Chains A and B, each alone.
Chain A
Amino acid sequence: MTKVTMTVNGKSVSAEAEGRTLLVQYLREGLGLTGTHVGCDTSQCGACVVHVDGKAVKSCTVFAMDVAGSEVCTIEGMANADGSLGVVQQAFQDHHGLQCGFCTPGMVMSSAALLAENPRPSESEIRHYLEGNICRCTGYHNIVKAVLAASGQDAGAMAAE
């Protein structure tokens, strides 16, 4: 076991990790940040997406040691400083973009990464970008609407109820 240090949600943290410890295990078991979920183990479902140095990364497929020293942001770091929901989070609530909530952290992190790259994505750009995040509850309708709304676009006009 080795002590691995990185910055998570703006704070310098360290926890013990084996060589085989995945970033998601480091976050969940080492730091107790259980908002990041494991849904598939094969990099397919995206429930584990976090930001590493600003990029969306599937934390079930990265060794913790490989990102030592990086800046990591998780779902726990997405709210505003006063604790209120961030823009993407608020749009997900406003548009009922979540049901069971299990894929939601990954969806929010991927959506935020998309909007950082592409502030006004089209519907098809959103659908294409979120291809790596599986949701079993929503049929994606309200997720896409939420991302449109978070980018300042009129989701209601583009998506029929």
Chain B
Amino acid sequence: MPKDTGIGASTKRREDLRFLTGRGVYTDDLSLFGQAHAVMVRSSVAHGRIVSIDTAAAEAMPGVLAVFTGEDFKDVGGNPAGWLINSRDGTPMREPKRPVLAHGKVRHVGDAYAAVIAETYAQAKDAAQVLADATVIEELPAVVDMRAAVANAANRVHDEIPDNLCFDWGWIEDNRAAVDAAMKAAPHVVTLELTNNRLVPNAMEPRASIGEYFPGTGDYKLTTTSQNPHLTRLLVCAFVMGIPENKLQVVAPDVGGGFGSKIYHYGEEALVLAAAKRLGRPVRWTAERTESFLSDAHGRDHVTKIELGCTKEGDILAIRTETLANVGAYLSNFSTATPTFLHGTLMAGPYKVPHVYVNVKTVFTNTAPVDAYRGAGRPEATYSIERAVDKMCRELNLDPFEVRRRNLLTPDQFPYTTPVGLVYDTGNYQATLDKAIELADVSGFEARVAESAKRGKLRGMGLSTWIEACGIAPSHLVGVLGSRVGLYDAATVRVNATGTISVMTGAHSHGQGHETVFPQIVAEKLGIPESSVEIVHGDTAKIPFGMGSYGSRSLAVAGSAMDRALDKIIAKGKKIAAHMLEAAEGDITFADGKFSVAGTDKAKSFGEIAFSAYVPHNYPLETLEPGLEETAFYDPANFTYPAGAYICEVEVDAETGKVDVVAFTAADDFGNVMNPLIVEGQVHGGVGQGIGQALCENTSYDENGQLLTGSYMDYAMPRADDVPFYTVDHSCATPCTHNPLGVKGCGEAGAIGSPPAVVNAVIDALHRGGITHVAHIDMPVSPNRVWQAING
């Protein structure tokens, strides 16, 4: 019988009421008295030297209040990389300064070198065009292709970086010789070169920021589209603007999706703050969609060669990869962690493979910065492994299901230390595989192939078994790996005098449903109604210092912090109850919302204890402070390791090359599930994005660095008729062993596991249709590429 409240209930989302009635408040919905409008002036060339910017004509335009250029920010700090990675030889990575506004050189199309502030948006936009026309930029050769960037040292994105390399990373360098030896000794080696296509995250709400300055106090306020307002505050204050943290409030109100792109601090946030101070007025900026395409951090963009050594029976003996990872023109905040510690550490997959070595060279190019996008490094690792395993099955004529069974770790092997530095705590990969096989009706597949053939379609099935590391992250570990921050999270539970509860969390909800799910946990734990609990998030003036939401970490880290704070509330409640009930503290038990003296019928309700804490007339004031409010910081002991098995069925029209995903099954192990309705929705969304990557999405720059896919007319977002209904399951749960909720995280799974399942299915369809010369097609597996592959 499904629960109707608390942990495990499919509680309908309370936040929907405002979103469904047009009462959500997103950044651009705010209108402030006296506000002025900023428009950014962006480079139209990929690489150039700024010769001159004549601001006079723009400044004379109607309504123009101020013009900013890179000169105005040349003395403030740069937007930093969050992780410092060393090269294989021990040398530190190159970290060029990323200024608020480009100064001296522009380095990608869309690189902002000036901003115009005016009374109205239209006036600012008109003047921005005049300013662009009055700017002289000497165009330089663009560095676009990664291989060319590394090979041709004459063209430099940053003058001081001769080979366009940020770093050349090996993981784990000490294992390299053993991996090479194992590969050499392997009876069979599969080799595959593949591209993990560059994507634009495309949260539906474009980025927006509003700066305010209050001269009476010297305080600033930034309202912005952020997944982590405290991190944004830290970056703006400590690295870029030099504002004391206690003088800047950062608010991320309703945020319309993030998918990684709103983790990072962007120059526009510093710009509106500086402009607000100079003008003494609120200054707002909202991206147009094309600006989002040009200036949001992109995702993926790896070129990888993977080698997989195995026996003829399909036992994986060694994996070795070489990757070029694009970081674009500047380092975005997580861009150095994504292709390294979120990618290389996952290269063993869910398999008992003894030898793994990963080499990643990160490359500067004259393109937009590239950073974490839903999955972040783990989709790239999963795609490489699962495509290589699929190719192995085809080359050795092995059954892909049986090969997975041979290689998957078994439940008795946990905790399992991988050859790439992680310790998987728990899992049951056979169970999710079996569940996926059952739900996908694999036994009926041949009949469906025949049915498709009658309609002239080639049907194929693709499998992927995958793992990810979530719940980012143990601070001591990420510190060793080069992180400049800790990755704990925090919660304050404030019990109000009348027994209602406010939870201030460091997590940020931009679609994940925290306002509904977090109260379910509180209600379960305290035995009170969900409706008595309110979640406060997204405002640095209200919440404790937490690191925000990304990396499927909200419940695993911030939820665990909340759980710890609730433990403290209960512990204090027992002390209060002991006094009121005239019993020893050790005799007080708490269950179903009541503090009771064990073995008696003496009890006080949670509400009575709360009231007593705030109206302490009968209260042990000599030994206990009044009030009932507790804060906990939680630093995870390990990553969490969600895993699963995905099966995709496609139909390919060999005449046109068009691929239709006709069925998709996802069997996941997320550990304990707090709200199945929301968890399933997260998987649906992730799978939708993964199908988008596999079939249609691509970010394309031409040889001059012009973005060819700068709007929804050119960048193919998946639409409702590009995807099927999905079959999703999370019943094969092995609870996380090291966080109090036993949760693993579900936000990224769909986007990680699905692309290889789709591509494997397409290759399978072609082979079943007798088109056996096609070993691989790079994503997106568009009709053009499929047709070319078939007819090539």
Contacts and interface: CB of A to CB of B under 8 A. Distances in A.
Interface of A: 18, 20, 28-29, 32-42, 44-45, 47, 74-76, 78-79, 85, 89, 92-94, 96, 98-105, 108, 123-124, 126-128, 130-131, 133-145, 158-161
A141 B21 contact: no
A39 B16 contact: no
Interface string B477-511: 00000000000000000000000000000000011
Contacts of A140: 684, 688, 718-720, 723
A120 B22 CA distance: 26
B16 A92 contact: yes
Contacts of B12: 93-94, 96
Contact of B20 (A32, A93, A158, A160): A93
Interface of B: 12-13, 15-26, 28-29, 31, 122, 202-206, 254-257, 259, 288-290, 439, 510-513, 677-678, 680-681, 684-689, 691, 711-713, 717-721, 723, 725-729, 750
A80 to B, nearest CB: 11
B711 A144 contact: no
5 contacts: A34-B25, A102-B203, A139-B750, A141-B688, A161-B728
A100 B510 contact: yes
A35 B22 contact: yes
Nearest to B203: A136
A45 B206 CA distance: 12
Contacts of A158: 725
Contact of B681 (A38, A96, A102): A96
Give the residue among A133, A158, A160 with the most B Cβ atoms within 10 A: A160
A35 B702 CA distance: 38
Contacts of A127: 719-721
Contacts of B20: 75, 78, 85, 89, 92-93, 98, 101, 104, 108
Contact of B720 (A18, A96, A131): A131
A53 B93 CA distance: 60
B665 to A, nearest CB: 9
Nearest to B750: A139
Given A140-B723, A160-B727, A93 B290 contact: no
Contacts of A143: 720
Given A93-B13, A93-B17, A131-B719, A33 B512 contact: no
Contacts of B24: 35, 101-102
Query: A-B pairs with the 10 shortest C-beta distances?
Result: A35-B22, A139-B688, A102-B256, A101-B19, A100-B511, A44-B712, A99-B511, A75-B22, A34-B29, A139-B684
Contact of B677 (A20, A96, A100, A108): A96
Given A34-B26, A37-B204, A128-B721, 8 more contacts: A35-B22, A93-B12, A100-B205, A131-B721, A136-B202, A136-B204, A136-B259, A137-B685
B205 A41 contact: no
A30 B285 CA distance: 18
B726 A139 contact: yes
A100 B31 contact: no
B511 A40 contact: no
A50 B21 CA distance: 13
A142 to B, nearest CB: 6
B721 A102 contact: no
Contacts of A100: 203-205, 254-257, 510-511
Contacts of A141: 681, 684, 688, 723, 725-726
A122 B513 CA distance: 29
A104 B19 CA distance: 7
B648 to A, nearest CB: 13
A85 B13 CA distance: 14
Contacts of A79: 21
Given A39-B205, A40-B711, A41-B288, A99 B681 contact: yes
Nearest to B255: A100
Given A39-B205, A100-B203, A105 B22 contact: yes
A134 B718 CA distance: 8
Contact of B122 (A20, A28, A98): A20
A93 B15 CA distance: 9
A142 B26 contact: no
Give the residue among B16, B205, B259, B727 with the most A Cβ atoms within 10 A: B16
A41 B725 contact: no
A20 B122 CA distance: 10
A144 B680 CA distance: 15
Contact of B257 (A32, A34, A93, A99): A99
A63 to B, nearest CB: 14
A102 B206 CA distance: 10
B711 A134 contact: no
A37 B28 CA distance: 9
B207 to A, nearest CB: 12
Given A99-B257, A140-B723, A89 B21 contact: yes
A38 B678 CA distance: 26
A40 B721 contact: no
Nearest to A100: B511
Contacts of B23: 35, 76
Contacts of A39: 204-206, 289
Contacts of B727: 160-161
A45 B712 contact: yes
Contacts of B29: 28, 34
Contacts of A105: 22
Contacts of B31: 29, 32
A22 B684 CA distance: 34
Contacts of B729: 161
A128 B345 CA distance: 41
A102 B257 contact: yes
Given A93-B12, A141-B725, A159-B725, A102 B205 contact: yes
B720 A161 contact: no
A28 to B, nearest CB: 8
A99 B512 contact: yes
A144 B723 CA distance: 11
Contact of A35 (B21, B255, B680, B728): B21
Contact of B721 (A36, A124, A135, A139): A124
Contacts of B717: 134, 136
Contacts of A32: 31
Give the residue among A18, A32, A104, A131 with the most B Cβ atoms within 10 A: A104
Given A76-B21, A79-B21, A96-B12, A160 B688 contact: no
Given A100-B257, A108-B20, A158-B725, A138 B512 contact: no
Contacts of B750: 139
Contacts of A20: 122
Give the residue among A89, A99, A138, A158 with the most B Cβ atoms within 10 A: A99
A133 B721 CA distance: 11
Contacts of B122: 18, 20
Nearest to A42: B711
B19 A133 contact: no
A74 B680 contact: no
A141 B257 CA distance: 17
Given A99-B512, A103-B204, A74 B22 contact: yes
A159 B202 CA distance: 27
Nearest to B26: A102
Nearest to B202: A136
Contacts of A38: 28, 206
Contacts of B15: 101
A78 B21 contact: yes
A139 B510 CA distance: 16
